[in-house]
Amino acid sequence: MTSLMSDSGEMIKDAKIIQMNYVSNWYTLDLLSCLPYDIIYFVLNNVNNLDDKSDSNSSATSLFSALKVIRLLRVARVARKMDHFAEYSGVVLMILVGAFGLFGHWLACMWFAIGINTICNEDGNLTAHNWLVRFSVDTSQEYILLEDCVLTYGPSHLDAYLAALYFVMSSLTSVGFGNIAPYSPYEQSFSVVVLIFGALLYAMIFGNVTTIISQIYADMNRYHDSLNSVREFARFNSVPQNIEARIMDFMVTTWQQTKGIDTNAVINLCPKDLKADICVHLHRRVFNGHRCFLEASDACLRSLALEFQTIHVSAGDIVYHKGEYVDEVSFVARGILEVLQDGEVIAVLSNGDAFGDNVWRRPLSHGPAKCVVYIRALSFTDIHVIKRASLKKVLGFYNDYAKSFDRELKLAVNVCESVHFRKIKRRKPKLNAADSVKGGISSILGKGSLLKSGA
C-alpha cells in the first residue's frame, strides 16, 4: 500500500484512506491470488480418495483449481506501467510479439480442451468428428478407448499441444492450411472466433511493426535527411566545395556530440526553476573552473546560467575575424584555439581560458569594440558565451558580487587590444682589466700576423 493521488491531483498520505482504497480495489484479488491452492487441492483430493461418494468435494476441488486463473488478472497492473516503456520502440516490439505468443498459447490450450472434452459421443464411443481423433489417425497413434471414455495410447500431450498451437498460430496469421481442421460444431464455432480475433490481433500488433521499426531508425533517418538537405542546398546555391565540406564536417561532428538533440528546445519545455537547474549543470565547467565565480551565490549562479549560451565550433572555423565587433565574454570549456595577429600565433587557448573584451566595464551607451586578431579553432571546441547586456544586468542586481567578478576575472586574451612586440638588443658583456689586456694583445698579434702575411 502506497500513497495515491486524488482526483484534484493532491497526494494522499492518510493511512486510513489508503487502506480503504486498497480494500475496495486490489485486496480481494490479492487475497484470492495468494491462497495456497496446491495444498487445498491436495487435501481435498485425499478426502475424495477416502470417500468415493463425495461429489461435492470433487466439485470444490475443481473450483479451487479454476480459481488459480484469477492470478492472471494481476497482470493488469503491468498495463499501468506500459507508458514508461512506450518511448522504447525495441521494448514495445518485444512486448507486442510476446503478447501475440501468449494469446496463441491460451487459444491453443482452449483448442486442446475442446478436442479432449468432445472426443467421445453420447454412446461413449470415439467420435470421428474430432480434430484429436483425426490427428491421431494421421500420425498413426490412434487412441484406444477403455470403459467410461478413458483413453489410452494416442499422441502425447506435447504432440497434441504443438498441433493445437500450430493450428491456432496459422489461424491467427492466415486462414490455416487444412491439415488440422475443425469438424464438430464446437470446433467450428471456436475457429470462427479465432479467425475474427486473429484479424484484429494481427492488425493491432503486426500492423504497428513497420511504425516501430521506423521509430528505431528515426534518428538515423533524420541524420541522413539533414545531410541530404545540406547537399541539396549546396547544389542549388552553387556553394564552393570547400565551404560545403566545412558544413558537412560541422554537421557530422555536431551530430556525434549531440545525437541531434536540440538542447534549447528541451530546456524551453521546462519551467523557470527547473530550467535554471539544468543551465547550472550544463555550464558547471565554467563555474567550477574560474575563480571569478567562486564567491557567487546560488541565486547569482542561476541567473548567470540562464544568460549563458553554448556554441560548438569545428576545427578550422574562425571564431572571431579581425574587424568584427566584440560584445561578449567567452569561456573555453573544451577544445583548443589559436590567436593570430599579423599572420603569427601569439597565444593558444585551451580548457578554462577566458577571452573577449572587458565588456562589464564598458557602459551600455558605448558601442562594442572591434576585434584586432583572428581566433581559429584547432579542434572541435565548446565555448560558453555571455553577452554584455546580460552580464551587466546580472552584475547590476548583485552589486556585492560585481566587485569580486571584476577583481578575479582575468582574460587570457583581450581580442580588442593589440599585442606589441619590441625588439630586444643584445648587449656586449663588460670585460674586466685582465680580459681587456688579453684582448688588446690578441688584437695586436692578429694585426701583426695579417701584416706579416701581407708582406
Whether 441 has a pLDDT exceeding 80, the answer reads no
Three-class secondary structure of residue 28 per DSSP: helix
Q: CA 352, CA 288: separation in Å to the nearest integer?
A: 9
The residue type of 26 is W
**Of residues 424, 357, 423, the one with CA closest to residue 391:** 357
The residue among 55 and 349 whose pLDDT is bigger is 349
pLDDT digits (tens, 9 = 90+) for 268-325: 888 888 999 999 999 998 998 888 998 899 999 999 999 999 988 888 889 999 999 8
- Per-residue pLDDT band for 449 (boundaries 50, 70, 90) equals very low
Taking the CA atoms of the chain, what radius of gyration do you get in angstroms?
43
Mean pLDDT over all residues of the chain?
A: 78
For residue 206, count other CB atoms closer than 10 A to its CB.
13
Most confident of the following: 25-39, 40-54, 220-234, 327-341: 327-341
pLDDT digits (tens, 9 = 90+) for 19-73: 777 777 767 767 776 777 677 767 766 765 555 544 555 555 556 556 666 666 6
- Per-residue pLDDT band for 443 (boundaries 50, 70, 90) equals very low
Residue 311: strand pairing partners: 383
Question: In whole angstroms, what separates CA 417 from the centre of its chain?
Answer: 46
Which residues in 212-223 are b (16+ Cβ under 10 Å) and which e? beebeeeeeeeb
For residue 93, count other CB atoms closer than 10 A to its CB.
18
pTM tops 0.85: no
Whether 426 has a pLDDT exceeding 70, the answer reads no
Pick the CATH number of 263-414 from 3.30.70.60, 3.20.20.80, 2.60.120.10, 3.30.70.20: 2.60.120.10
What are the boundaries of each domain within the chain?
Answer: 85-216, 218-258, 263-414
Whether 199 has a pLDDT exceeding 50, the answer reads yes
Whether 438 has a pLDDT exceeding 50, the answer reads no
Region 247-262: mean pLDDT is 79
Angle between the N-to-C axes of helices 157-173 and 89-117, in degrees from 0 to 180, rounded to the nearest 10: 120
Most confident of the following: 81-85, 134-138, 168-172: 168-172
Region 198-211: mean pLDDT is 78
Contacts with 245 (C-beta within 8 Å, 6 or more apart), sequence order: none
Whether 336 has a pLDDT exceeding 90, the answer reads yes
Whether 447 has a pLDDT exceeding 50, the answer reads no
Instruction: Give me the pLDDT at residue 152, please.
Output: 75
